[in-house]
């Protein structure tokens, strides 16, 4: 029963949703949004399943947040400097 759900329903829906979002938003917005998926997964497993945050998980989450911050800072800097000719 789990395979019947995970295969066509969950995977198919997620693939369709990702393609639909990618078509309507810029690639950078889509990729930044998709970075939230592992953060939600880890946070949910800690809160709902009582799993421990290991140093490698924390390092991964810090890396994701650092990547998001760098991209947002670069975008903010580009907006302040104006368009390049």
42-81 pLDDT, tens digit per residue, is 999 999 999 999 999 999 999 989 988 888 888 788 778 8
What's the average model confidence in pLDDT over 11-20? 89
What's the average model confidence in pLDDT over 3-30? 85
Cβ count near 45 (within 10 Å): 14
Q: Please state the separation of Cα 6 from the chain's center in Å.
A: 20
Token pair belonging to 49: 């399943």
Percent of the chain with pLDDT over 90: 35
Angle between helices 36-49 and 55-81 (to 10 degrees): 140
Q: What is the pLDDT of residue 55?
A: 94
Indicate the average pLDDT of the chain: 86
CA separation for the pair 45, 53 (Å, rounded): 9
CA separation for the pair 49, 36 (Å, rounded): 19
CA separation for the pair 75, 62 (Å, rounded): 20
């Amino acid at each position: 029963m789990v395979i019947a759900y995970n295969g066509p329903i969950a995977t198919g829906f997620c693939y369709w949703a990702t393609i639909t979002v990618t078509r309507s938003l810029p690639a950078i917005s889509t990729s930044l949004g998709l970075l939230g998926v592992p953060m939600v997964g880890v946070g949910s497993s800690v809160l709902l399943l009582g799993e421990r945050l290991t140093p490698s998980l924390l390092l991964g989450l810090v890396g994701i947040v650092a990547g998001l911050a760098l991209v947002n800072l670069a975008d903010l800097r580009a907006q302040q400097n104006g368009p390049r000719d």
